[in-house]
Amino acid sequence: MVREGLNRRRMLQLGGGLATAGTLGVLSGSTASALPDDRSASAVGRTDPDVITTRNPLVEQRADPFITRPVDGMYYLTGSVPEYDRIVVRGAPTLDGLASTRERTIWRRPSSGRMGGYIWAPELHRIDDRWYVYFAAGDSHDPFRIRMYVLESAAADPREDAWTLRGQVTTAWDTFALDATTFEHRGRRYYVWAQHEPGIDTNSNLYIAEMASPVAIKGDPVRIAVPTLDWEVQGFRVNEGAAAIIRNGRVFLTFSASATDHRYCMGLLTADARADLLDPASWTKSGEPVLRTDERTRRYGPGHNSFTVAEDGETDVLVYHARDYRDIEGDPLFDPNRHTRVQRLYWNEDGTPAFGVPVGEGGPIVRLSPMDAPRAYVRHYAYRVRVDTDVRQVADSQFRVVPGFLGAGRVALRSVNFPDRYLRVDGTELRIDPYTDTDDYGHDSGFVLEAGLADHRAVSLRLSADRQAYVLHRDGRLTVGRPRGRADRERATFRLG
């Protein structure tokens, strides 16, 4: 039986849209079954403000994706198309709606001459009640003679046919330049881009400058990142594709590095929000990638990201592209299957972003926080399950709630970063163990999901084999037992987040 208060809408709200079609069937008491590949656990399509879509990919064959924050209730998406010949925009009132809405071409390259080559990495920005698209283009006689350009529109909707080419954004050198982005901070607008600087043996470095207007920079470029670390120089020496997010007293700039195959990855630059952003000394580079290929989730070459927010206007969302296979024939630039993907961006206790892993297919993702330890999360470490605060490896604390393998009305908790493993009772402790097609595994990994014993807005996990036994938090570890009083009921209650 489902306890009062745990209805369909509440489950969606508890987890930020964190329920699956199969899970909702279990909660309502209907029969549900699951396969290890989650084919029976697709995400519920909702338009509630709390929902972050779990559609993966969100849009196929759109690389270098850029999704705006909502403007007058609409999200807009643009990105590189496989033909590299045009700029497209699609819009929808929800992130999930971007997957199925019609797409409009707002600009095509000329048939010859300047900008008649490859069209790369458009970004769409609303500045002073006008729309601007920053993009890179080659020439028809030399498609790799890439330079940066800008379009402008006074229309309220960027899909309207109202665009004017404002020309090239010039810098100190007439060299390979691309991947421009812009952001405002403390009353000043900045422009960040990638460029080859004469005299430096790299393909591209990252630069920043203040903007004189939305179509021009002022002053000299300031170099803030050069690819030198091992993960930045695989195949090519590249820093490119910057994206800004300002939170917690700091300015964060993600960027992408190395060749565009499975070696492509994301790094992070950080500056104090009060610092002079035009001083290279203000920026610190991460020593390791913050997002990279994950063989277990089958996501290869994640990168060239942007940021938006969920429909609640507050929850940060990471937007990026990745392939779902490793091996590529020929030049990876011409492999079309870099797909647009979105997932929640988390934050560590010290205010830094926690990217996790590029997640694979499946339903919504949950983190469980014990009611008696509200700043801690259930996580696995060396396949044992425990409860920790400040989980830096955020993927260790991410699970998908899917229909159980044995018995009606049961659920299983699937690890996000070890998708072949599920939460399983082993004696009195809990582990994440590989799936096996046995009755014992089905019983040990199956739970009844109920409204929380101490708070009906949360959840409790009852064991399949014992109607009075629950998963409990005790002194930083998960165990099983029969709750005896209020304290035990709190130990057996978990908030979803």
Residue pLDDT, tens place only, 30-47: 223 333 333 233 322 222
| pLDDT for position 23 | 39
| pLDDT for position 465 | 83
Quote the tokens at residue 260: 């565009």
| pLDDT for position 61 | 98
Contacts (Cβ under 8 Å, ≥6 apart) of 152: 130, 131, 132, 163, 164, 166, 214, 215
| pLDDT for position 181 | 98
| pLDDT for position 63 | 98
Would you call 64 a catalytic residue per the annotation? yes
Among residues 64, 139, 388, 444, the one annotated as catalytic is 64
Helix (H, G, I), strand (E, B) or coil at 13: helix
pTM of whole model > 0.85?
A: yes
pLDDT tens, 349-405? 999 999 999 999 998 999 999 999 999 999 999 999 999 999 999 999 999 999 999
| pLDDT for position 33 | 31
| pLDDT for position 497 | 82
> What Rg value do the Cα atoms of the chain yield, rounded?
24
Domain 63-354: assigned CATH number:
2.115.10.20
For the chain, residues with pLDDT lower than 50 are: 1-50
Rounded Cα distance, 181 and 173, in Å:
18
Helix (H, G, I), strand (E, B) or coil at 495: strand
Among residues 50, 197, 240, 361, the one annotated as catalytic is 240
Q: Kindly state the greatest CA–CA separation across the chain.
A: 79
| pLDDT for position 407 | 87
Within the chain, all domains assigned CATH 2.115.10.20 are found at: 63-354
| pLDDT for position 51 | 66
| pLDDT for position 37 | 37
| pLDDT for position 394 | 97
Rounded Cα distance, 177 and 138, in Å:
10
β-pairing, 399-403 with 365-366?
Answer: antiparallel
Question: Cα 456 vs. chain centroid, distance in angstroms?
Answer: 30
Question: Cα 71 vs. chain centroid, distance in angstroms?
Answer: 20
Within the chain, all domains assigned CATH 2.80.10.50 are found at: 8-48+363-496
Say if domain 8-48+363-496 classifies as CATH 2.80.10.50. Answer: yes
DSSP letter assigned to residue 204: B
Would you call 240 a catalytic residue per the annotation? yes
